[in-house]
Amino acid sequence: MLDIPSRVRVHVEPLLAAQIDMGVCDAIEQYAPVRKPHAMNAPHPSKVAGIDATVPSPAHTVAPAPAAPGVPQAAPPVPADPGALLQDRLAGWVSDLTTLQELTERLARTASLTEALQELLHAGAALVGARRGLVVVEPCDGLGPDSMTGLGLARSDLGHIETVPRDCMAYGRLLDGPPGGEREIAQPDLFSEDGLDPRHREVAARLGYAASYALPLCTDRDGALGAAVWLYDEPAEPLERQRHLAGIYTRYAAQHVARMVEVERARACLTTITEELLPSRLPRVPGVQLAARRRSGPHGGGDWYDALPLPDAALGLAVGSVTGSGPGALAATGRLRASLRAYAVMEGEDPVAVLSDLELLLRLTESARSATALFAYCEPALRKLTLAGAGHSPPLVIGPRRTEFVETSLSAPLGMLACWEAPSVEVTAEAGETVLFYTDGLLQRTGDPMDRAFARLHAAAASVPRPLRGDPGAVADHVLRTVLPDGLDEVDSTEDVILLAARFD
């Protein structure tokens, strides 16, 4: 109960105080719009006996129920103090505001659609007093992403739910109904419903839920986005106050989910563009085996690779990186890679001429960008490579008897000199050796200075187990996991990683 000092206590007439019947959620909506969160409060105690402690019920004074005829009545209760009644109501409002603030803060900190949906399910379950639930995302514009996420439900459980006819499930009725239709669907006792679908009855009995409460996820700008359903183990339904709190929270959550849907679409678009700019498959050339590995950041970077057959059974291998990130860098990467392929077909035997032409094109068409590149003219029958590099890291030769970097000439990146030209070098590999090309992102993701990053890369290549050395893909995987341990090769990073491995027979 709030302790209001006597100097600021509000004096309310008894009759006026008795007529005050302002709902909790009316007060929340009127006096407490959702604002930017400042700090998290301490976590609430766990739920006890099906009652969620995170949503304490405010104290309200209600009229006593009339006694049955013939039953002696007790003495009438002493009228409640109007000031105490007002303080109890204020305490309930403050508790509800605190709960909604904490839950919206947690939701606002989620950085992906999956995290947002999981937080939505957890918060909604706390508000309505449920233990399990699921949320279905199906944007009404049909552009996706479509997903079903469960709380306390395994993937197989979600599969069972999907076998129920869609129009028999609460989420299906919310999503497929007319715009502005049902705003909530409560099924307090599924097994007592006369028209319950037999398949729904079977699935509910298998999964052990007897009641459900569903709310739509929609915004004025994006329309319907999905629906959330919470499941009860026994016949039950949320109280009116819990419904109001869940409705307020769900309306805010729908806006956050809409933003996460846009982010997910942008990431998927960048991923698709990046994949289309790289080779769909590596060529098969006698005498050499190829494998490539790529890790892209969330914004789409400018790292690329290529492998193309050339005349006289030769092979062109290239890796490179364009400065910047995002759609502009991806477009520049596509133009640069396409130009290099054309120059490699015309004069691939001279890698210096290929990179010189590429530098001139970049300077004329992409004057605001620079790029690094490494091109190798490979003759598999002779196991010989002729290399030229422009500001790129040297390749690494991995074999049974040696693990060493190829000594290439030091050169500036493309686009940084008025006229680029650097001598090429020749490398002859032995049978069973693998030449590993890579981009600088592999070194930069380590967070170490460049000399230590090169030492780590060399140690990782030297530690490739002997049984794996016959597979260039296994060699690339081992190097990637060893140089970037603890999942650093999988997490989102601003640095892209490219590995291209060529093993000679």
* DSSP codes of every residue in 296-362: --TT-EEEEEEEEEETTTEEEEEEEEEEEESHHHHHHHHHHHHHHHHHHHHHTT-HHHHHHHHHHHH
With 50 as the cut, is the pLDDT of residue 343 above it? Answer: yes
Residue 266 to residue 215: CA distance in whole angstroms: 27
Please give the order of strands across the beta sheet that includes 211-219: 147-151, 132-137, 223-232, 211-219, 185-187
Q: How sure is the predictor about 297, in pLDDT bands with cuts at 50, 70 and 90? A: low
Which tokens belong to 215?
């709310």
Cα separation of 371 and 336, whole Å? Answer: 9
Lowest-confidence segment of 135-149, 219-233, 301-315, 406-420 by average pLDDT: 406-420
How many residues appear in the chain? 505
pLDDT at 69: 52
Neighbours of 260 (CB within 10 A): 21
Task: Sheet containing 425-428: give its strands across.
Answer: 301-310, 314-325, 371-379, 384-390, 425-428
The predicted pLDDT at position 35 comes to 40
Q: Which amino acid type is present at position 90?
A: L
Share of the chain above pLDDT 90, in %: 47
Instruction: Please name the residue that has the structure tokens 């590596």.
Output: 282
pLDDT band at 378 (very low <50, low <70, confident <90, very high): very high
What local confidence, expressed as pLDDT, does residue 489 receive? 64
Say which range, 102-106, 162-166, 363-367, 423-427, has the weakest mean pLDDT: 363-367
Q: What is the pLDDT of residues 470-501, one digit of tens each?
A: 999 999 999 999 998 876 666 666 778 899 99
Quote the Cα angle for 142-148-153, to 5°: 170
CB 91 within 8 A of CB 59: yes
Query: Per-residue pLDDT averaged across 96-113, rounded?
Result: 92
Higher-pLDDT residue of 327, 379: 379
Residue found under tokens 């690779």:
305
pLDDT at residue 347 in the model: 85
Q: What is the mean pLDDT of residues 300-323?
A: 88
Phi, psi of 426 (to 5 degrees): -115, 140
What does the domain layout of the chain look like in residue ranges?
A: 24-33+81-267, 279-504
Handedness of CA 322, 325, 329, 333 (dihedral sign): positive
Q: Examine the pLDDT at 67 and tell me if it is beyond 60.
A: no
pLDDT digits (tens, 9 = 90+) for 221-256: 989 999 999 999 999 999 999 999 999 999 999 999
- Cβ neighbour number for residue 73 with a 10 Å cutoff: 9
pLDDT band with cut points at 50, 70 and 90 for residue 75: low
Q: What is the mean pLDDT of residues 436-463?
A: 91
pLDDT over 50 at 1, yes or no: no
pLDDT for 56: 43
pLDDT digits (tens, 9 = 90+) for 39-61: 333 344 333 333 344 444 444 43
Residues 380, 305: Cα–Cα separation, whole Å: 19
CATH of domain 24-33+81-267: 3.30.450.40
Class of domain 279-504: alpha beta
Q: Is 224 helix (H, G, I), strand (E, B) or coil?
A: strand
* pLDDT for the residue 390: 87
Distance of CA 377 to the CA centre of its chain: 40
Amino acid at 476: A
Task: Note the pLDDT of residue 49.
Answer: 31
Contacts of 341 (CB under 8 A, 6+ apart): 306, 308, 316
> What's the average model confidence in pLDDT over 293-300?
75
**Is the confidence at residue 13, as pLDDT, over 70?**
no
Largest alpha-carbon pair distance within the chain?
111
DSSP collapsed to 3 states, 414-483: ECCCCCCCCCCEEEECCCCCEEEEECCHHHHCCCCCHHHHHHHHHHHHHCCCHHHCCCHHHHHHHHHHHH
What is the rounded average pLDDT of the residues 59-65? 42
Residue type (1 letter), 475: V
Confidence of residue 278 (pLDDT cuts 50, 70, 90): confident
24-33+81-267 and 279-504 agree in CATH topology: no
The pLDDT of residue 73 is 54
Task: Tell me the pLDDT tens digit for each residue of 22-42.
Answer: 443 443 343 333 444 333 333
Say whether pLDDT at 259 is over 90.
yes
Max mean pLDDT among 275-279, 407-411, 429-433 falls in 429-433
Return mean pLDDT, the chain: 81
Would the pLDDT of 9 be above 80?
no
Q: Is the pLDDT of residue 62 over 60?
A: no
Q: What is the dihedral of CA 33, 39, 41, 42, to 10 degrees?
A: 160
Burial 269-284 (b: 16+ CB within 10 A, else e): ebeeebeebbbeebee
Q: Average the pLDDT over 90-100 and give the result.
A: 86
Higher pLDDT, 201 or 32: 201
Is residue 387 within 8 A of residue 408, CB to CB? The reply is yes
pLDDT number for residue 417 = 66
Q: Are strands 211-219 and 132-137 parallel, antiparallel or unpaired?
A: unpaired
Strand, helix or coil for residue 384: strand
From the list 91, 27, 30, 81, the residue with the least C-alpha distance to 58 is 91
Which has the minimum average pLDDT: 83-87, 236-240, 252-256, 459-463? 83-87
How many helical (H) and strand (E) elements, i.e. helices and strands, does the chain have? 13, 15
Nearest C-alpha neighbor of 241 from the set 27, 505, 485: 27
Rounded CA-CA distance 504/432 in Å is 6
pLDDT mean over 255-269: 91
CA-CA-CA-CA torsion for 15, 17, 18, 19, nearest 10 degrees?
A: 90
Peptide bond preceding 145 in cis form (omega within 30 of 0): yes
pLDDT above 90 for 216? yes
pLDDT-derived band at 77 (thresholds 50, 70, 90) equals low
pLDDT tens for 120-163 read 999 999 999 999 999 999 999 988 899 999 999 999 999 999 99
Q: Flag whether pLDDT at 6 surpasses 70.
A: no
Residue with tokens 């000092």: 5
Contact 346, 419 (CB under 8 A): no
Q: Which of 378, 365, 311, 313 is nearest to 338 (CA)?
A: 365
Average pLDDT over residues 371-376: 91
